[in-house]
Amino acid sequence: MFENLVLGFAVAASVENLLYCLAGVALGTLIGVLPGITPLVAIGMLFPLTFTLPPIPSLIMLAGIYYGAQYGGSTTAILVNLPGETASAVTCIDGYPMARQGRAGPALAIAALASFFAGCVGTLLIAFVGPPLGEWALQFGPWEYCALMLMGLVASAVLARGDAVKGLAMVALGLLFGVVGTDVNSGVVRYAFDVPELFDGIGFTVIAVGLFAVAEIASNLESGERREALAAAISELLPSRHDLRDAGWPMMRGTAVGAVLGVLPGTGPALASFAAYMLEKKVATDPDRFGAGAVEGVAAPEAANNAAAQTGFIPTLTLGIPGSAVMTLMVGAMMMHGFAPGPQAMAEKPELFWGIVASMWLGNLMLLVLNLPLIGLWVSLLKVPYRWLFPSIVMFCCIGVYSVSNNPVDVYLCAALGALGFLLARVGCEPAPLLLGYVLGPLFEEHLRRAMLLGRGDPLLFLTRPISLAFMLGTALVLVAMVWPALRRKQ
């Protein structure tokens, strides 16, 4: 168990790598804190920065960016009541009142501490659960992989917010985008329309930046700015001993809730933080304080959020199936560095695999060290007007996309995908399932073709092999959950 983690830290903890991690955390927080920029946009915008580095430092910097951006989302939730993503919406409920009472410092510190604690537990869990799960997954045939991916895709579409049918259609569209380029089995170039830049497929950067960053800026501009400036001055910076005592148990309960729920595909962190908040309200002796700046209301959901994000890495890294949009971005970025997460990766490239796990933990630690002293800076960053920000984000997107292969066609495609993403968002289609479909598409097709070939075209094998059957039943369960409310309404 622990020799793996030791190996990981040996890889990650060189001075150079630590500096990259620090740079990643600083940049991630810097961008993630800016108003109107969600963690997804921040990661999508920044990860092209890591392309020029060798694999290990770049993955470590990526981990730093990930944590920084996530924490940036919590910071805006606490300081301006603007959750960066669904998972930190719960943090607003008590974090923002705390900030308005001048206790933004303690709120941010508790959020960082809770995240760190949950991150430690999550890292240990990966070390314990990862190897057996990975070994189990090595027995998977193409049937199991297909069924598992199907479950992940359907769950991400149905459990994500918004309309489930549109989510499923977005998955199909994502799978179709994944088809573009040279077919690995036959060498036929599909849907490239004689554009040589498309022979290798649509780049991951192009899709991620277009769908998340470009489309999101356009949506933000169109709907106008909605944010409240923080009125109260910050009177305390560090949490008192009393605050810490209050936060202790909620932190642990939140971690437990998050660790369990995080493994679920689709909703992990968001569901976990809601559940943890509800649990705290249930067990509290005076539930009235919740919503008016209770420390527990910040500690528990932040711990749950981060524990879930961490255990979400278990299916992501060991099975290669990401559970959330942010995770999909991370997997896509890892793939760009030639590291395809999955059971084979754990067996064949242990130093990379455990290096990532260790750097995740280091990223979390850096966050704690770096961000607490800099709260004042984050507060002043929040005052930057959006009309200065958005052209700068467009600049980052342009340079980032262009730098991948020094090719203007990628920038044109990114602009087109941004417009498509904007249109789809306007008609109520979330982009996350599309990205998941795009990332998993080539794998899914390959396994499907292999499964049909090996099984001599017998589709029943999907239902007679036990593990595959379990995944299929899971998929069916998710679909029933989707249709159920509609059926009940009819009666």
Partner 1 sequence: MERFLRDLVAGLVFAAFGAAAIHFVREYPLGTAVRMGSGYFPAALGWLLIGFGAFLCVRGLWRWVPSPRRKAKQVDGLDFVKGDRAPAPAPAAAAWDWREATWSVRPVACIAASMLVFGFVMPRLGLIPALVPMFFVAARGGREFRWREVLILTLVMTAFAVGVFVMLLKLPFQLFPGFYLV
Q: Which residues bind partner 1 (CB under 8 A)?
A: 49, 52, 161-163, 165-166, 168-169, 172-173, 175-176, 179, 183, 185-186, 188, 190-191, 214-215, 217-218, 221-222, 224, 386-388, 390-392, 394-395, 397-399, 402-403, 406, 408-412, 414-416, 418-420, 422-424, 426-429, 445, 448-449, 452-453, 456-457, 459, 485, 489
Nearest to residue 207, comparing CAs of 44, 22, 449, 351? Answer: 44
Distance CA 436, CA 384 (A): 33
What does the longest C-alpha to C-alpha distance in the chain come to?
71
What own/partner pairs with CB < 8 Å and gap ≥ 24 does 188-197 have?
Answer: 195/409, 197/405, 197/407, 197/409, 197/410, 197/413
Beta carbon nearer to partner 1, 356 or 434: 434
Q: How far is the CB of 92 from partner 1 (least distance, A)?
A: 16
* 132 close to 442: Cβ distance less than 8 angstroms: no
Distance CA 305, CA 288 (A): 23
Q: How far is the CB of 97 from partner 1 (least distance, A)?
A: 24
Residue 171: both structure tokens together: 């998955």
C-alpha triplet 242, 244, 246: angle, nearest 5°: 70
Q: In Å, how far from its chain's centre is CA 269?
A: 9
C-alpha triplet 12, 342, 472: angle, nearest 5°: 145
Q: How far is the CB of 167 from partner 1 (least distance, A)?
A: 10
Beta carbon nearer to partner 1, 169 or 479: 169
Beta carbon nearer to partner 1, 174 or 315: 174
Beta carbon nearer to partner 1, 163 or 246: 163
Distance CA 468, CA 351 (A): 30
Beta carbon nearer to partner 1, 157 or 367: 157
Beta carbon nearer to partner 1, 32 or 122: 32
Beta carbon nearer to partner 1, 221 or 473: 221
Q: How far is the CB of 370 from partner 1 (least distance, A)?
A: 19
Q: How far is the CB of 90 from partner 1 (least distance, A)?
A: 17
Q: How far is the CB of 416 from partner 1 (least distance, A)?
A: 7
Q: Is 465 left (phi over 0), alpha (psi -120 to 50) or beta?
A: beta
Query: Per residue in 65-86, is it b (16+ CB within 10 Å) or e — as a string?
Result: bbbbbbbbbbbbbbbbbbbbbb
Q: How far is the CB of 187 from partner 1 (least distance, A)?
A: 8
Q: How far is the CB of 115 from partner 1 (least distance, A)?
A: 27
* 255 close to 116: Cβ distance less than 8 angstroms: no
DSSP assignment of 167-212: HHHHHHHHHHHHH-EE-TTT--EES-TT-GGGTT-S-HHHHHIIII
Q: How far is the CB of 5 from partner 1 (least distance, A)?
A: 31
Beta carbon nearer to partner 1, 128 or 386: 386
Helix (H) or strand (E) holding 272: helix 268-283
Distance CA 70, CA 66 (A): 6
Q: How far is the CB of 442 from partner 1 (least distance, A)?
A: 10
Nearest to residue 323, comparing CAs of 263, 250, 270, 271? Answer: 263
Beta carbon nearer to partner 1, 47 or 116: 47
DSSP assignment of 353-369: HHHHHHHHHHHHHHHHH
Q: How far is the CB of 188 from partner 1 (least distance, A)?
A: 4
Q: How far is the CB of 398 from partner 1 (least distance, A)?
A: 4
Distance CA 303, CA 282 (A): 17
* 89 close to 304: Cβ distance less than 8 angstroms: no
Beta carbon nearer to partner 1, 79 or 393: 393
Distance CA 293, CA 298 (A): 8
Beta carbon nearer to partner 1, 139 or 406: 406
Beta carbon nearer to partner 1, 457 or 466: 457
